[in-house]
Chains A and B, each alone.
Chain A
Amino acid sequence: MSSTLEKPQIIAHIQKSLNYTVFDSRWIPCSAKFVCMGNFARGTGVIQIYEIQQGELQLVKEIEKAKPIKCGTFGATSLQQRHLATGDFDGSLNVWNLEMPECPVYSVKAHKEIINSIDGVGGLGIGDGAPEIVTGSRDGTVKVWDSRQKDTPVVNMEPMEGETKRDCWTVAFGHAFNDQDRCVCAGYDNGDIKLFDLRNMSLRWETNIRNGVCSVEFDRKDINMNKLVATSLEGKFHVFDMRTQHPTNGFASVSEKAHKSTVWQVRHLPQNRDVFMTAGGAGNLHLWKYEYPAQRTKKDADNVDMGVAGSVNLLQNVTLSTQPISSLDWSPDKQGLCVCSSFDQSVRVLIVTKLNTV
């Protein structure tokens, strides 16, 4: 038992049963609160704000909206304003001020179909450059929005005329290390992963991992892109080393089979970019650590640089419920604290110990 206690332990600190289906949960930055977004059985959307008080969750506010809400992010607001950007089942993007949630700060009908995924960059002191929001939808398009520009997206990544649309299931920002550079990575249901470069307005890289891509995430948004994790439908996830791009082979990657079911989410620890957690369809969470190889680049036959992927170690795994864990979010203020929501209509606050010795 002593040897297992030296590994990080995942403690189920607080669990709360909700009366609605919860799709996403996010920490409010610089506070001990988080928001849960979902839909009531009656078909309306809900945003609930909870605060941790003495080991209990207190409901601070409940906001009901017309359409069910699928996803949300705080990524594009300033630390003081902390506006929540949400995408709903109807394809609308709204930015809310949680103090005055009656009227959105910014609203646009972003897509024709449900917004599956949303991400923000440029706010909260993360990433230089303009604060932007990216949305990916079932209509196959990925659009980047700036709250200063009404009605039209800043960038629109869409399939060519006549091509079949593939659902975009996930989007992520990355490579935002200075004012101009920025990349958007999108994962589709047929296994495509595409990397768009917003500086050059071009498609930088694409690959196919054969199974639908449930979630992509860069390890840090605001550095020269280092690693990208993409999770898939059939229990696998891939870690790409994004430092060295080979002209034909693309990025080096290592893949790992886990969960024995869909891997729904991947989230990197904000305090350590080499530690990440994956959430599975069997209600389990796996905590991983990436180890870099001795040499991150090597020369191939034609003396062109190509990347070398490292290895992934399983640190800990727990089974929380029988239903898939749909969302996971690490607290940016406290290392090891995270909130996860699952389809058994409950939200859990977890504490992961011993992460500083990992």
Chain B
Amino acid sequence: MSAAEAASALVSPGSSCRSVPVEHLDYSFIQSCSDLKHLEHILRALRSGQEGFYPHLTEFCEKHIEKLNPKSRVLRKENRPATVASFSAEEWRNISEDLQLWESHMRLNEAQLKRRPIFSDVKDVPPVRSSHASIQTSLSAVEKTGRTPCVPRSYRDWDRFDVETECANIDQSDRNTRHASVSPAVPEITETINSSALTAQEKDALARREKDKGNEAFKSGDYEEAVAYYSRSVSLASSAAALNNRAQALIRLQRWSSALNDCDAVLQLEPGNIKALLRRAAAHKHLGHQQESHDDLRAVLLIEPHNATALKLLMDETESNRCEETHGTSRKILIQEVDEEEEDEEFALLKDDGNALVRSGCYQEAVDKYTECLQLKPHECAVYTNRALCYIRLHRFTEARQDCDSALQLQPTNKKALYRRALANKGLKDYAACRSDLQQVLCLDVSVTEAEQLLMEVTHLMMESRCSSGPRRSITITELSVQEEDDDEDEDEGSGAVGSQRCSAVVSSVSLRSSNAFEFGQALNGAVSCGDLLTCAELLRSVASERLPRLVGTQLDGRTLGFIIRALNTHLLHTHPELVLKHLQQLHTTHRLTMVLMLLDGEDRARLSQIFQKLHGVQTEAFSQNDVTNLANKYL
């Protein structure tokens, strides 16, 4: 390195011995170099232009130095003063208008000042400095390194040496050496100013100046001094700002009661002053007045709901309060149900309180908290769902359902609301609504396992309840496939069911609306195979006569027909004779009936003639005896 330097010194004798080798004037080198001093040398070398003019490299080097040290002296540039052109039109207008306003204002002030009579200017001025003092200064320079050369006396001088005078001289010089008087720690600043001879304008100006001095002292950390200056300002002209600032300085000095007095004074002058309220809250807190502190913070939040300091302090307070009321039980409830969405902070605070209470099991208080939340923000879906949960736990299902309804009004696809409404409905035993809610949940999100389980539970319950209610005959569904759920919808509408002990086999039921021959056939076959006369009768009853031929159609065989006849005989004849007749009439039009009739066994024929005889006996308007006779002839 030194050889290179020496070499470069030889080559370019004009450059300094600390010159930078040419290899260093390179992008990659500059990039990798992190030694600030060396980079500054490089930059100087580049700027001097000795090695050539490389503007891009210079710029690159400057940027690199700026990254390392933004305050580096080499980065200082000479700027031109700003002119109109460097500002936007708006800004320049502001500046010039401001100046003109100030000019006119000053002219007015000056005119006012001149109009005042001169003699009011006489005030008690302190007297002239009493002593005509003269301070003798010794102009010996104080050398920090202390290299004052002490010239030794020559031999001849030693002859003239007089001990006494020399000692006296030493004493003299001792007296004359500077005595560093260290100032007292706290300056004696008078707390009040004699303002008798000043006009209101002067007093205001002075008060403002003292307040500025106080502000500056505060900024540099001299709180005692700041308090003194603020007191001076207040003694001249009491202003809310000065009192407020003094309160803050007193808080920093931890003089809580004085700070409290100042805050009270400010609030008397300006009742809505947020800073004063916050400071008073802090003072109260440190004095131990929790309640007043709380009140003040709440007052701040009333005025400014988004005030971060107030919220933070409030949270700290409630934290400490919560720690005091610890609960013994720690039942863990499904926590994912409690929403933690962040919206408004104060509102978030109350909600968090509520959530915590839910977690710890105090549902009633949680309900209250949520109610409070809703007072603040009545359109908050999450709060409704949370409150619904509390109600559910408290078994107040109606209210829970209402809350879920409100939640769903705000957010129609809220899964939690739907789920909880399902729970509420279950509690209220409204299983249909419950199931529909659950199905909606599953539509939105298939993976919600709780919904599925609940659905199955509820359907089960529903079946049981239907069993217990007698006149409603519904078919029990014991098939456990998933497809059941789709079928279930249809089944709700009125399939009959019988608690058939015998029927253990798979029984499919048919809906009224199913116009499918297959289904009808299935049902019939099922009934026939079970010997289930009732089912058959029901089927026949529910089916329209006109459709019977089509529905029965190809299924018709001896056994089936016999069964139908038996069913008609036993069940329907008493109740619906016309229907029977119609059915028979229609049946007759079926294909192959004649064929099948031949296959009927004797018992069935007997029954058929029984039917006709009974029909004969029945007197109705729907048909006449002739019809019956005709039909009987057809059949027999």
Closest chain B residue to A223, Cβ basis: B213
**B96 neighbours in A (Cβ, 8 Å):** 55
**A178 neighbours in B (Cβ, 8 Å):** 187-190
Query: Is B116 among interface residues, defined by CB-CB distance under 8 A?
Result: yes
Closest chain B residue to A144, Cβ basis: B129
Query: Is B513 among interface residues, defined by CB-CB distance under 8 A?
Result: no
Query: Is A30 among interface residues, defined by CB-CB distance under 8 A?
Result: yes
Contact status A223-B80, CB under 8 Å: no
Name the distance in Å between A355's Cβ and chain B's nearest Cβ. 12
Could you tell me the distance between the alpha carbons of A358 and B525 in the complex, rounded to whole angstroms?
A: 96
Residue from A129, A156, A319 in contact with B80 in the complex, judged by beta carbons closer than 8 Å: A319
Residue from B83, B128, B142, B216 in contact with A154 in the complex, judged by beta carbons closer than 8 Å: B128
Name the distance in Å between B173's Cβ and chain A's nearest Cβ. 11
Chain B 170-220 interface residues, beta-carbon cutoff 8 Å to A: 176, 178-183, 187-190, 193, 202, 205-206, 209, 212-213, 216-217, 219-220
Could you tell me the distance between the alpha carbons of A61 and B326 in the complex, rounded to whole angstroms?
A: 83
Closest chain A residue to B141, Cβ basis: A208
Query: Is B28 among interface residues, defined by CB-CB distance under 8 A?
Result: no
Contact status B80-A318, CB under 8 Å: yes
Could you tell me the distance between the alpha carbons of A279 and B87 in the complex, rounded to whole angstroms?
A: 24
Could you tell me the distance between the alpha carbons of A192 and B144 in the complex, rounded to whole angstroms?
A: 12
**B225 neighbours in A (Cβ, 8 Å):** 223-224
Closest chain B residue to A294, Cβ basis: B221
Contact status B213-A220, CB under 8 Å: yes
Name the distance in Å between B77's Cβ and chain A's nearest Cβ. 8
* Chain A window 159-192, contacts with chain B (Cβ cutoff 8 Å), 1 for yes, 0 for no: 1100111100000000001110100000010111
* Most chain B CB neighbours (cut-off 10 Å) among A203, A204, A317: A203
Known: A197-B181, A207-B142. A155 touches B133 (CB 8 A): yes
Closest chain A residue to B117, Cβ basis: A80
Could you tell me the distance between the alpha carbons of A111 and B182 in the complex, rounded to whole angstroms?
A: 32
Contact status A81-B216, CB under 8 Å: no
Contact status A224-B216, CB under 8 Å: no
**B126 neighbours in A (Cβ, 8 Å):** 128-130, 179
| Interface size class, chain B | 35 or more
* Chain B window 78-102, contacts with chain A (Cβ cutoff 8 Å), 1 for yes, 0 for no: 1111110011000000011001101
**B100 neighbours in A (Cβ, 8 Å):** 54-55
Chain B 121-160 interface residues, beta-carbon cutoff 8 Å to A: 121, 125-129, 131-139, 141-144
Query: Is B76 among interface residues, defined by CB-CB distance under 8 A?
Result: yes
Closest chain B residue to A352, Cβ basis: B82
Closest chain B residue to A9, Cβ basis: B82
**A198 neighbours in B (Cβ, 8 Å):** 129
Name the distance in Å between B26's Cβ and chain A's nearest Cβ. 28
Query: Is A196 among interface residues, defined by CB-CB distance under 8 A?
Result: yes
Contact status B129-A273, CB under 8 Å: no
Query: Is A12 among interface residues, defined by CB-CB distance under 8 A?
Result: yes
Closest chain A residue to B216, Cβ basis: A273
**B3 neighbours in A (Cβ, 8 Å):** none
Closest chain B residue to A257, Cβ basis: B73
Could you tell me the distance between the alpha carbons of A146 and B130 in the complex, rounded to whole angstroms?
A: 11
**A201 neighbours in B (Cβ, 8 Å):** 131, 133, 135
Chain A 238-260 interface residues, beta-carbon cutoff 8 Å to B: 245, 247-248, 250, 257-258
Contact status B180-A247, CB under 8 Å: yes
Contact status A317-B79, CB under 8 Å: yes
**A292 neighbours in B (Cβ, 8 Å):** 219-221
Contact status A284-B139, CB under 8 Å: no
Could you tell me the distance between the alpha carbons of A222 and B229 in the complex, rounded to whole angstroms?
A: 11
Contact status A200-B213, CB under 8 Å: no
Contact status A130-B125, CB under 8 Å: yes
Could you tell me the distance between the alpha carbons of A44 and B187 in the complex, rounded to whole angstroms?
A: 46
Closest chain B residue to A154, Cβ basis: B129
**B127 neighbours in A (Cβ, 8 Å):** 130
Query: Is B107 among interface residues, defined by CB-CB distance under 8 A?
Result: yes
Query: Is A53 among interface residues, defined by CB-CB distance under 8 A?
Result: yes
**B136 neighbours in A (Cβ, 8 Å):** 158-160
Contact status B135-A247, CB under 8 Å: no
Contact status A80-B128, CB under 8 Å: no
Could you tell me the distance between the alpha carbons of A78 and B221 in the complex, rounded to whole angstroms?
A: 32
Query: Is A108 among interface residues, defined by CB-CB distance under 8 A?
Result: no
Chain A 22-77 interface residues, beta-carbon cutoff 8 Å to B: 30-32, 52-55
**A157 neighbours in B (Cβ, 8 Å):** 134-135, 137
Residue from A144, A166, A204 in contact with B181 in the complex, judged by beta carbons closer than 8 Å: A204
Contact status A125-B202, CB under 8 Å: yes
Contact status B190-A163, CB under 8 Å: no
**B83 neighbours in A (Cβ, 8 Å):** 11-12
Name the distance in Å between B57's Cβ and chain A's nearest Cβ. 23
Contact status A318-B129, CB under 8 Å: no
Closest chain A residue to B138, Cβ basis: A160
Name the distance in Å between A215's Cβ and chain B's nearest Cβ. 20
Name the distance in Å between B134's Cβ and chain A's nearest Cβ. 4
Known: A178-B190, A208-B142. A334 touches B76 (CB 8 A): no
* Chain A window 205-225, contacts with chain B (Cβ cutoff 8 Å), 1 for yes, 0 for no: 111100000000000101110
Could you tell me the distance between the alpha carbons of A156 and B129 in the complex, rounded to whole angstroms?
A: 12
Name the distance in Å between B589's Cβ and chain A's nearest Cβ. 94
**B113 neighbours in A (Cβ, 8 Å):** 30, 79-80
Contact status A146-B129, CB under 8 Å: yes
Could you tell me the distance between the alpha carbons of A310 and B177 in the complex, rounded to whole angstroms?
A: 30
Residue from B78, B121, B135, B188 in contact with A317 in the complex, judged by beta carbons closer than 8 Å: B78
Closest chain B residue to A316, Cβ basis: B79
**B95 neighbours in A (Cβ, 8 Å):** 11, 351, 353
* Chain A window 90-121, contacts with chain B (Cβ cutoff 8 Å), 1 for yes, 0 for no: 00000000000000000000000000000000
Contact status A220-B216, CB under 8 Å: yes
Contact status A203-B137, CB under 8 Å: yes
**B183 neighbours in A (Cβ, 8 Å):** 224, 245
Query: Is A323 among interface residues, defined by CB-CB distance under 8 A?
Result: no
Could you tell me the distance between the alpha carbons of A194 and B103 in the complex, rounded to whole angstroms?
A: 40
Could you tell me the distance between the alpha carbons of A126 and B209 in the complex, rounded to whole angstroms?
A: 9
Name the distance in Å between A217's Cβ and chain B's nearest Cβ. 16
Residue from A80, A177, A284, A353 in contact with B118 in the complex, judged by beta carbons closer than 8 Å: A80
Contact status B216-A272, CB under 8 Å: yes
Name the distance in Å between A70's Cβ and chain B's nearest Cβ. 23
Name the distance in Å between A283's Cβ and chain B's nearest Cβ. 10
Query: Is A271 among interface residues, defined by CB-CB distance under 8 A?
Result: yes
Name the distance in Å between A52's Cβ and chain B's nearest Cβ. 6
Query: Is A313 among interface residues, defined by CB-CB distance under 8 A?
Result: yes
Query: Is A10 among interface residues, defined by CB-CB distance under 8 A?
Result: yes
Query: Is A299 among interface residues, defined by CB-CB distance under 8 A?
Result: no
Contact status B103-A10, CB under 8 Å: no
Residue from A12, A181, A194, A208 in contact with B143 in the complex, judged by beta carbons closer than 8 Å: A208
Known: A125-B205, A197-B181. A146 touches B106 (CB 8 A): no
Contact status A318-B137, CB under 8 Å: no
Closest chain A residue to B194, Cβ basis: A128
Query: Is B71 among interface residues, defined by CB-CB distance under 8 A?
Result: yes
Query: Is A19 among interface residues, defined by CB-CB distance under 8 A?
Result: no
Query: Is A303 among interface residues, defined by CB-CB distance under 8 A?
Result: no
Query: Is B109 among interface residues, defined by CB-CB distance under 8 A?
Result: yes
Name the distance in Å between B110's Cβ and chain A's nearest Cβ. 5
**B109 neighbours in A (Cβ, 8 Å):** 30-31
- The contact sample of 16 A-B pairs, CB cut-off 8 A, is A11-B86, A13-B99, A148-B128, A157-B134, A158-B136, A159-B136, A163-B138, A188-B139, A196-B135, A204-B180, A224-B183, A257-B73, A292-B219, A317-B78, A333-B106, A334-B99
Report, nearest first, the 10 A-B pairs whose CB atoms are least far apart. Answer: A12-B81, A224-B187, A32-B106, A9-B82, A156-B134, A154-B129, A318-B81, A201-B133, A11-B82, A130-B126
B interface residues (Cβ-Cβ under 8 A, vs A)? 71, 73, 76-83, 86-87, 95-96, 99-100, 102-103, 106-107, 109-110, 113-114, 116, 118, 121, 125-129, 131-139, 141-144, 176, 178-183, 187-190, 193, 202, 205-206, 209, 212-213, 216-217, 219-221, 225, 229
Q: Can you add 4 more A-B contacts, CB < 8 Å, to A11-B81, A130-B129, A198-B129? A: A157-B134, A203-B135, A258-B76, A292-B219
